[in-house]
Amino acid sequence: MTELKGERSDGGSGTVGERSDGGSGTVGERSDGGSGTVGERSDGGSGTGLGRELGVAVLGMGTVGTEVVRILRDNADDLAARVGAPLAIRGIAVRDLAKDRGVDPALLTTDAEALVARDDVDIVVEVMGGIEPTRTVMLRALDAGKSVVTANKALLAEYTGELADASRRARADLYFEAAVAGAIPVIRPLQQSLAGDSVQLVAGIVNGTTNFILSAMAENGDDYEVALKEATRLGYAEADPTADVEGYDAAAKAAILASIAFHTRVKAADVYREGITGVSSADIASAKAFDCTIKLLAICERIIDGAGQPRVSARVYPALVPLKHPLASVDGAYNAVFVEAENAGRLMFYGQGAGGAPTASAVLGDLVMAARNKVHYGRGPLDSAYANLPIAQIGEVQTRYYVAMHVLDRPGVLSTVANEFSSRDVSISTVRQQTDHSEVGARLVILTHHAPDAALSATVEALNKLDVVTSVSSVLRLEGTNE
């Protein structure tokens, strides 16, 4: 059945560059179309006739890579039937050859670049992480016409443009569903399902470590440090938790989500970022009193600037979320992405955002798609950055605020404090005053209506200068309300 066995030219890098050119050599076209036909016949029928084997290079064999290799082996028959051709691992790039990984040692190599360049490699699965040499290896792979599936959010948040351009030039696919929210389909829905809609807002709980910590704080009344220690003990936080708790991981994901949702290239550096280390158990308790919980949110929003023009705001920070909002009940290591679009309305995608098997599931979904495209001469999603909207500064973003402060317990304090808000057009929604046992004074918590971030910042600066204010202990946003 596979008349073209061993003759397919599209696995080699030589003709790939030409295929993206409309007037390219007829030979390349013909051999491609031919292999497509083999797949056609196999997929529609009994599943017995398959196309020529496709070669897969796996870069990295950590938690995710190990699961990818396991699933490729355990589910080989199903995967072959779904692709229309068997998938064969040609090699696995690792750092340490000596470590026993339960795979044929002949597959292991430390030379990722040589592995992806092999003629019998059609698709590269990148789960090694890091910026370099990963970026160079991926570009080499794409330039050589190999499709790439990656889970590397940090790399994508910085170099999506470069990688997308390389993939387009070579007519090779670039898939990265696993880079954001693990097993939860969110890239594909934004990129494809909502391709005919106008996305207004993407708000995600996209970091399992911080969600575990904040959930534990809310559930047990733990302080941040206690909850972090528990997260580390259970393996939800790394030894150095900075990337998670300071919001860098979420910011990279926000950049990727914003880029897709708004057809604009957004990089991690464009994302305003605050971590959760400053969130206190007192904040969580106050949030509860306002019927809210606190979540680290990655928010991508289309806002209208002073001149009436659309801009993209991408920001990551801990925020109060009303308990009745769908995101409020996403607890523990679960992730969820909430989307508002002009016509679709409100959508939410929920599931496991991390872990070896869930992330590998997303990688395998992309791998099957990339492989099907090789068999059927299909085409994966294309980078779309035509809108090229300007990035909004945090100062022009409007949200509601939660401001907690310690004040002197004397008459007229509330009036003095309230004046600092109103004089900057920041309208107060709710005030709660509690006797503060730790100091001689009171704890004042204020919720505002929507106001520009710049006005709020100026207000906080002024509050800190007031004699009656001992300290502003916390400034958080309130998201998910329309008031």
Question: Taking CB under 8 A as the criterion, which residues in 136-175 touch its own copies?
Answer: 164-165, 168
Tokens of 293: 């919980």
Nearest to 72 by CA among 107, 106, 98: 107
Q: Indicate which single residue of 134, 209, 211, 352 sits in contact with its own copies (rule: CB under 8 A).
A: 352
State in angstroms the smallest separation of the CB of 63 from its own copies. 13
Q: Tell me whether residue 292 or residue 369 sits nearer to its own copies (CB atom).
A: 369
Distance between CA atoms of residues 299 and 41, nearest Å:
45
Distance between CA atoms of residues 413 and 410, nearest Å:
6
Cβ(298)–Cβ(251) under 8 Å?
A: yes
Distance between CA atoms of residues 130 and 276, nearest Å:
24
7 lies in the site for its own copies, by CB under 8 A: no
Q: Tell me whether residue 113 or residue 310 sits nearer to its own copies (CB atom).
A: 310
Q: Tell me whether residue 44 or residue 278 sits nearer to its own copies (CB atom).
A: 44
Q: Indicate which single residue of 98, 100, 386, 467 sits in contact with its own copies (rule: CB under 8 A).
A: 386
200 lies in the site for its own copies, by CB under 8 A: no
Q: Indicate which single residue of 2, 12, 17, 20 sits in contact with its own copies (rule: CB under 8 A).
A: 20
306 lies in the site for its own copies, by CB under 8 A: no
374 lies in the site for its own copies, by CB under 8 A: no
State in angstroms the smallest separation of the CB of 246 from its own copies. 27
10 lies in the site for its own copies, by CB under 8 A: no
Nearest to 472 by CA among 382, 373, 403: 403
Tokens of 52: 């020529």
Distance between CA atoms of residues 447 and 477, nearest Å:
9
46 lies in the site for its own copies, by CB under 8 A: yes
322 lies in the site for its own copies, by CB under 8 A: no
Stretch in the footprint of its own copies (CB under 8 A) among 294-302, 366-374, 422-430, 440-448: 366-374
Active site residue 465: no
Nearest to 352 by CA among 212, 252, 189, 158: 212
Q: Tell me whether residue 331 or residue 409 sits nearer to its own copies (CB atom).
A: 331
Stretch in the footprint of its own copies (CB under 8 A) among 292-300, 377-385, 389-397, 427-435: 377-385
Q: Indicate which single residue of 5, 73, 346, 432 sits in contact with its own copies (rule: CB under 8 A).
A: 346
**Catalytic one of 5, 146, 153, 253:** 253
SS3 385: coil
Using CB under 8 A, which residues numbered 82 to 121 contact its own copies?
Answer: 82
**CA angle centred on 319, ends 313 and 323, rounded to 5°:** 120
State in angstroms the smallest separation of the CB of 361 from its own copies. 4
User: With contacts defined by CB under 8 A, how many residues of the chain interact with its own copies?
Assistant: 84
Nearest to 320 by CA among 290, 350, 300: 290
CA 470 to centroid of chain Cα atoms: 39
State in angstroms the smallest separation of the CB of 191 from its own copies. 9
Rg, the chain, Cα only: 26
Cβ(337)–Cβ(181) under 8 Å?
A: yes
78 lies in the site for its own copies, by CB under 8 A: yes
**CA angle centred on 217, ends 212 and 218, rounded to 5°:** 100
Active-site annotation, residues: 253
